[in-house]
Structure 1
Amino acid sequence: MNPTTRRQMFERLQALTPEPTTELDYGTPFELLVAVILSAQATDKGVNKATAKLFPQANTPQAILDLGLDGLKQAIRTIGLYNAKAENIIKTCRILVERHAGEVPRERAALEALPGVGRKTANVVLNTAFGEPTIAVDTHIFRVSNRTGLAPGKNVNEVEQRLLKVVPREFRRDAHHWLILHGRYVCTARAPKCPDCAINDLCDTYRRASPHRARRAGSTV
């Protein structure tokens, strides 16, 4: 995909969703951090259901420490892997209280040092809570980047580095959300909605095949 095509792609995605944001419910950087930790191998809908129960009880690091591990587990038990996630959240809250005055740090290294926080989670927090032009590559973004030819790569780190190089600067802050939404609702893992896609004429996979063949080829990515 050449630079002109990439720009056209993001111009169209921007026109569809001028102000994209996460579908996780949150009100503060800390709430977002907790929600993203919980979102691993879970749906945003499921996370929102759990945090709707948790945050009215405790939505600061100290409040969650006061709630305790058992209380936290009870609040998030509808989430997959909730035992391990609860332990990580408790450890993270303790570090935030002891080392960061109860605030979520804005530095990548400090974020990635928190239990349960990897590069993808740090990127989401930096981008969504603090407005940094980071791009967190999940399965949706990995799929869209490879299918369309936007930023093909063999793993998420490779795709992330390519996206940071090829996405026009003015679109970089919101690129994460546009690509996730596109992968979640249009360029789905199975039976992608290629004929109705706003960028199908820019997509490498669609242009190489008929709509029917594009669906079959796309389902393997």
Structure 2
Amino acid sequence: MNNTKRKALLTRLCDANPNPTTELNFSSPFELLVAVTLSAQSTDVGVNKATDKLFPVANTPQAIWDLGVDGLKQYIKTIGLYNAKAENVHKMCRILLDEHQGEVPQSREALEALPGVGRKTANVVLNTAFGWPTIAVDTHIFRVSNRTKLAMGKDVIAVEQKLEKVVPKEFKVDVHHWLILHGRYTCIARKPRCGSCIIEDLCEFKDKTE
């Protein structure tokens, strides 16, 4: 895909959704960090059901630390891998209190040093909480980027690096959200909904559906 077509594709996604954001419920950088950490191998809907009960009770590092691991598990036990996630979030809270004055650090290195936080989670937090032009590549974004030929790569890191290179500056803050939503609702895995896709004529996927 050439740069002219890429810009047209992104402009169309922008026009359709000028203020995109995550579907995870949060009201602070810390709530977002916890929600994204819990979302690994889980749906946003499932995470929201848990955090909608957790956050009114405990939505700061100190409050979740005070709950204890077993107390936290009671709120997130409907989420996959909740035992390991509870341990990680609890340890994360201690580190935030001891090393960051209870605040979420605005540093990729510091975020990735937290238990349960990898590159994708750090990118989401930096982008969504702090407005950094980072691009977190998940399975949806990996699929859409390769399928449309917007940014092709053999793994998520390769796709992230390609997107960083080819996405114009004015689109970088929001491109993560546009692509994940497009992959979640239109360019779905088994049978993409090409007939209702707003970028179908710009997409270079060969096996389009009706």
TM-score bracket for this pair, using the shorter chain length: over 0.9
**C-alpha separation in 2, matches of 1:63 and 1:107:** 23
**How many pairs does the alignment contain?**
210
Deviations 1:176-221 (A, max 9, x none): 000000000000001110111111111111xx34535xxxxxxxxx
| Structure 1 unpaired stretches of 5+ | 213-221
Contact in 1 for aligned 2:85/2:116 (Cα 8 Å) = yes
Q: Structure 1 residue 121: deviation in Å?
A: 0.0
**C-alpha separation in 1, matches of 2:147 and 2:60:** 40
Counterpart in the other structure of 1:33 = 33
| Structure 2 unpaired stretches of 5+ | none
**C-alpha separation in 2, matches of 1:12 and 1:204:** 15
Q: CA RMSD in A?
A: 0.8
Normalised to the residue count of structure 2, the TM-score between the two structures is 0.98
User: Residues 210 and 39 from structure 1, CA distance in 2 versus in 1: closer, same or farther, beyond 3 angstroms?
Assistant: closer
Counterpart in the other structure of 1:166 = 166
Moved segments of 4+, more than 4 Å: none
Q: Structure 1 residue 151: deviation in Å?
A: 0.5
Counterpart in the other structure of 1:195 = 195
**C-alpha separation in 2, matches of 1:209 and 1:75:** 44
Counterpart in the other structure of 2:104 = 104
User: Where do residues 176-187 of structure 1 align in structure 2 (5 Å cutoff)?
Assistant: 176-187=176-187
**C-alpha separation in 1, matches of 2:14 and 2:165:** 19
User: Residues 210 and 64 from structure 1, CA distance in 2 versus in 1: closer, same or farther, beyond 3 angstroms?
Assistant: closer
Which structure has greater helix proportion? 1
- Give 1:135's aligned amino acid: I
Counterpart in the other structure of 1:51 = 51
User: Where do residues 1-221 of structure 1 align in structure 2 (5 Å cutoff)?
Assistant: 1-205=1-205, 208-209=206-207, 211=209
Specify the SS of the correspondent of 1:211: coil
Normalised to the residue count of structure 1, the TM-score between the two structures is 0.94
- Provide the identity percentage: 70
Specify the SS of the correspondent of 1:127: helix
Deviations 1:107-153 (A, max 9, x none): 00000000000000000000000000000000000000000001110
**C-alpha separation in 1, matches of 2:95 and 2:48:** 24
**C-alpha separation in 1, matches of 2:203 and 2:31:** 36
Deviations 1:62-86 (A, max 9, x none): 1001011100000100100000000
**C-alpha separation in 2, matches of 1:47 and 1:167:** 30
